[in-house]
Structure 1
Amino acid sequence: MQTPLSVMDFLDRAEQVYGDRIGIVDEPVQPAGSWGEVTYRRMAELARAQAAGLDRLGVGPGARVAVVSQNSARLMTSFFGVSGFGRVLVPVNFRLKAEEVAYIVEQSGASVLLMDPEVADALAGVPVEHRFVLGAESDRELYAFDREPVRHPVAESDTATINYTSGTTARPKGVRLTHRNLWLNATLMGLHFGAGDRDVYLHTLPMFHANGWGLPYVITGVGGKHVVLRKVDGAEILRRIEQHGVTFLCGAPAVVAAVLAAAETWDGPLPGRDRVRMVVAGAPPPTSVVQRVEAELGWEFMQLYGLTETSPAVTVNRTRAEWDALPPAERAEKLVQAGAPALGTTVRVDGQGEVLVRSNTVLDGYWERPDETAAALQDGWFHTGDGGTLTDGYLTISDRKKDVIITGGENVSSIEVEDCLYGHPAVEEVAVIGVPDEKWGETIKALVVLREGAKADEAELIAHCKQRLAGYKSPTSVEFRTALARTATGKLQKFRLREPYWSGRERGVN
């Protein structure tokens, strides 16, 4: 017998087995109004009511519903109320500018746009058939409790979410993830990182980002408790861990840095010692940070390597019995590796040093980008664009083959930033690269050649970008050059431009 895998399986089980248990503790201060504590039975009722509300709007199966929101119970419920009933959820980065959101809405063909109140004014001009500002008023319109939703048949090969990633092109690509992709990724995350019904999971990770790495699904399916955090703050993370008995969280290295900084001034014993485990991804932190997490916080450090295109799990790294007797520094060196392939995943490095992946969690394709889909999925392998090495079954990411800068766990296309800078009348040439940064892992540097006779300073060019791009995409520094070295064919060799800034480091990523 074979039954199709659906993301709704996770909430169906939670309702059946853990219906009276508190499933979500919403952020207490939400501009849209907090839902407070929500049981799994109520969460399932809300998901059905949302689906019925979309039925009432005439939003049919396969239609795209875009949502621009910081972490919230409303957003989490939409993973099930939209995708679980045959529609496609498009979670959008709330940091993007209106023009960027408008492109995603148009390119995905979304007919519905749900907006957090904080971004509603900025996105007022985004053209879309149905728009809702999340809150009590839209709750009455969106959630139809007086009718049963149509449970449209869902095939596991159907697209469940479209997640936009900057990638290496100026325009973001929509990653089509199927119910099968998401179901298996969530199951792998739960298996490798030990999720269970006693877990209290803190959402420090943005839910829009690769669907919160699948944790909204797996924690729901095993009956754990979700604690929603709207904005990352080191001291607030420690307070939530103490208040709610948090056992599990995920985040980029910048989140680790924020917690460690807050711990230095924390009054009293640090919460979570010998209880909390944390999965870190985005870029491997230094071994010293791993040691501090284990020694100062007393938390278990775990690592994930993945991409939006892989749902995202590719490799996982968690301390093993053979490492227990190692000195802390040696164990940390083991843990900063990207890790071993997740169950059912095959990883290899080709002759050019690029990491290739074969897995059931690899994307179905890019939304309406057949050429880029074909380029990414060559010969039955997903080409990550990352460089790495494999040693004794463990992957280490050594450099980035594609021009993506990961700053604070967010992907930034260098080409997109360059396009923006080229729009300034004083700029003749520009190359944007990532350089090491202690707080964000990498930060964005623009190497600029000005037009003959033109004038512009660093502050002016940074302000130019901030007016047109999300803040995290804007350069933090500008270096003026008289020329940018190119190959005989006129191409910039960014790895050579990056070399002086990464000199003396083992890896070309931070």
Structure 2
Amino acid sequence: MPRIFDQDLPRTEANHAPLSPLSFIERTAEVYPQRLAVVHGTLRRSWGEVYVRCRRLASALRGAGVGRNDTVAVMLPNTPPMVEAHFGIPMAGAVLNALNTRLDAPTLAFMLDHGEARVVIVDPEFAGVMREALALRQSSEPLLVIDVEDPVYGGPVQRIGSLTYEAFLAGGDPQFAWALPGDEWDAIALNYTSGTTGNPKGVVYHHRGAALNALSNILEWDMPKHAAYLWTLPMFHCNGWCFPWTVAARAGVNVCLRKVEAQAIFDAIRDHGVTHYCGAPIVHGLLVNAPEAMKAGVPAGVKAMVAGAAPPASMIEGMEQMGFDLTHVYGLTEVYGPATVCAKHGEWDALDIGERARLNARQGVRYHLERDARVLDPQTMQPVPQDGETMGEIMFRGNIAMKGYLKNPQATQEAFAGGWFHSGDLAVQYPDGYIKIKDRSKDIIISGGENISSIEVEDVLYRHPDVLAAAVVAKADPKWGETPCAFVELKAGAQTTAEAIVAHCKKHLAGFKVPRAVVFGELPKTSTGKIQKFELRKQAGSAAAIDV
């Protein structure tokens, strides 16, 4: 029998609207139309101007036959058209597929075909590889190619499309009457995973998740109105961790950056009053290890967000010396980028750097608008004891989780088995509820029957004063089955030996955890700064062991 609160209280347009980040730019353009929205070279655009351009883009796409659930791919760096794509494409009811600009032509061709792209917008820097990708497509469906012109780009320009981006926008209606999605569960974006084993998987985001993670970013950072955000993080990576929508919600400034270089970052911070930026550890390490003269005049108080490997003590200390405030987050493509945060406590400030580093190295607690994140036993699906020792798998559930994998129902079902998203990351949970990753399930090294966390060994390597970056993988061993093999990238000008690295590890690790091989050189990384361990596993087979 219906209860009183279920009777005569209908959901209508007057009291319910689907959640979507598109409403953020609409409000900001109405309330702050003259506020600065985009900085790129000498270009300056207000939120009113950006909103008009997004409406033109949506209208032009509709005119080109693009509609609900059609895919529009973009091959763009962190430039104004990339900001506009995050609004204009979903305003047309379409789905944004931001392609990784570091990928090869065959992989890009797969993505265009698999995602059934109807349009692709291409920056001149990537015209060559995109031309190759277009030639490798298997699909016979027509694909509209649009060329972006960017005066900041100083390289050679080749046209591969039928018209330019500006010409395309000129054909759109600046007053286009776009609408929110009929259902907040509608797809807003398609992001492909790295695909290190087989073809990459297409992760589908919905409007609800995009809006809620964008708002969670504000809450985790206490991000103020009109913040100036520097685009060091690629917008193709989990839609820039949803920050294009976050910046719009705060009526902030998108400070665009084509290339991540220390000089350009420090110049942007000084010139444009940058207050916030994000990146992988390598980006922050680039700044910490930059020449002191390059840091001159950089104001204190910049907020930095780091994801990926836990920030070592040397990085935390270096950021503090620059006056930067570092926040550690954790997530995956499938949960819209960051979905947990190492929420800091005031009393931590009084601790020594070593203890602060230990606390800040944890992946932390769930984002505000995520329903849950915890460490579960993957066999029983029950929480592991919160003792900081018992290992399980990090799992998520709730608002900030993908719709699933495009055209891959089996992978989707496996990822959501038991009502949780399975991250594949092995971790412990502490009595205060904070999560700490121990390893990826595939990265655990089993030596003589003992499990060795590669992350634990890497943490020790990062404490060595000469180490810039480190990664540890398993190396086959006739006696022990596997032993740790350390790949080490040294800081500029630093000189050390494998024996010295091993001696350092012996001070902090049990004997069986100490690397039996040390390889020096630049580490292979993805476009987002993540170390490519699958490449290192290939090299480990030929790495020479040393006597420890």
Q: Does 1:341 align with 2:380?
A: no
Change (3 A) 1:437 1:165: farther
Deviations 1:461-499 (CA, angstroms, capped at 9, x unpaired): x9xx99xxx9986947964859xxxxxxxxxxxxxx9xx
Cα distance in 1, alignment partners of residues 210 and 108 from structure 2:
24
* Corresponding residue to 1:374 among 409, 413, 416: 413
1:283 match: secondary structure: coil
Change (3 A) 1:116 1:476: farther
Deviations 1:240-297 (CA, angstroms, capped at 9, x unpaired): 101111111100001011111224342634x131x20100002112122112111x21
Q: Partner of 1:277 in structure 2?
A: 303
Deviations 1:192-212 (CA, angstroms, capped at 9, x unpaired): 111122411101000010010
Q: Does 1:67 align with 2:74?
A: yes
Q: Partner of 1:228 in structure 2?
A: 256
Cα distance in 1, alignment partners of residues 26 and 111 from structure 2:
31
Change (3 A) 1:264 1:170: farther
Once the two structures are overlaid, the 10-residue window that deviates more, 153-162 or 133-142, is 133-142
Change (3 A) 1:434 1:4: farther
Query: Deviation of residue 342 (structure 1)?
Result: 1.4
Cα distance in 2, alignment partners of residues 114 and 141 from structure 1:
10
Deviations 1:143-163 (CA, angstroms, capped at 9, x unpaired): 434464352551210000000
> Which amino acid counterpart does residue 356 of structure 2 have in structure 1?
R
Once the two structures are overlaid, the 10-residue window that deviates more, 330-339 or 375-384, is 330-339
* Corresponding residue to 1:17 among 31, 44, 69: 31
> Which amino acid counterpart does residue 306 of structure 1 have in structure 2?
G
Query: Deviation of residue 350 (structure 1)?
Result: 2.3
Tell me the number of residue pairs that the alignment of Structure 1 and Structure 2 aligns. Answer: 428
5+ long unaligned stretches in structure 2: 1-14, 151-163, 379-391, 445-453, 459-472, 474-481, 492-521
**TM-score, normalised by the number of residues in structure 1:** 0.77
Q: Does 1:144 align with 2:171?
A: yes
Change (3 A) 1:192 1:268: closer
Change (3 A) 1:255 1:267: closer
Contact kept? 1:5, 1:180, Cα under 8 Å: yes
Q: Partner of 2:506 in structure 1?
A: none
Q: Does 1:251 align with 2:279?
A: yes
Query: What percentage of aligned pairs have identical amino acids?
Result: 33
Q: How does 1:458-497 map to 2 (within 5 A)?
A: 475=535, 479=539, 481=541
* Corresponding residue to 1:300 among 308, 325, 333: 325
* Corresponding residue to 2:340 among 290, 315, 328: 315
Contact kept? 2:232, 2:278, Cα under 8 Å: yes
Contact kept? 2:55, 2:178, Cα under 8 Å: no
Deviations 1:293-341 (CA, angstroms, capped at 9, x unpaired): 11x2111010110011001232112422231322233222211111111
Cα distance in 1, alignment partners of residues 233 and 315 from structure 2:
19
Q: How does 1:185-264 map to 2 (within 5 A)?
A: 185-264=213-292
> Which amino acid counterpart does residue 361 of structure 1 have in structure 2?
I
Change (3 A) 1:53 1:145: closer
Deviations 1:91-122 (CA, angstroms, capped at 9, x unpaired): 01000011111000000011111111111122
Cα distance in 2, alignment partners of residues 146 and 293 from structure 1:
46
Q: How does 1:37-76 map to 2 (within 5 A)?
A: 37-76=44-83
> Which amino acid counterpart does residue 94 of structure 2 have in structure 1?
R
Cα distance in 2, alignment partners of residues 156 and 165 from structure 1:
23
RMSD (CA atoms): 3.2
Change (3 A) 1:332 1:68: same
Cα distance in 1, alignment partners of residues 323 and 243 from structure 2:
23
Q: Partner of 1:454 in structure 2?
A: none
5+ long unaligned stretches in structure 1: 29-33, 408-413, 415-430, 441-461, 483-496, 505-510
Q: Partner of 1:385 in structure 2?
A: 424
**TM-score, normalised by the number of residues in structure 2:** 0.72
